[in-house]
Amino acid sequence: MPTFTFITDYRGGTYICQKAAADLRTACFLWKNEIVSGRYVQHLDIEAFSKAFDADIDELPPLPIDEVSNVWLFHLMFGRYMLDLHIVQTETAASKVRAKTMGAVA
């Protein structure tokens, strides 16, 4: 199952988390649930955020970045603030990739 990395920029803060999900939409809902329950994004109005997410996820879904594979951008506007969300899909075999690149140098 792919892992989705969420890089959230909001009011000068950057927040990062990862979610394993079968697809992008499911991962986005897992991210939303963490944001709402975790309350770790400073100055975030949880109610306004939830309403904006629910209104926009289908109408204005995350957009793929041109010429970059497995990367999306999602903007949420609520009140006078904007939340930017960058999403990167990675493979769960990342530990195998890391092991290959950390070999000894002769």
Contact between 41 and 10 under an 8 Å Cβ cutoff? The reply is yes
pLDDT digits (tens, 9 = 90+) for 15-37: 999 999 999 999 999 999 999 99
Q: What is the pTM of this model?
A: 0.82
The pLDDT, as a whole number, for residue 71 is 97
Residue of 93, 70, 95 lying closest to 5 (CA atoms): 70
Q: Given pLDDT bands bounded at 50, 70 and 90, which one contains residue 106? A: very low
Residue of 8, 50, 3, 44 lying closest to 22 (CA atoms): 3
Burial class of residue 5 (count of CB atoms within 10 Å of its CB; 0-12, 13-18, 19+) = middle
Radius of gyration of the chain (CA): 16
Q: Determine which helix (DSSP H) or strand (DSSP E) holds 106, and give its type and residue range.
A: none
| 104 or 38, greater pLDDT | 38
pLDDT digits (tens, 9 = 90+) for 57-93: 999 999 999 999 999 999 999 888 999 999 999 875 6
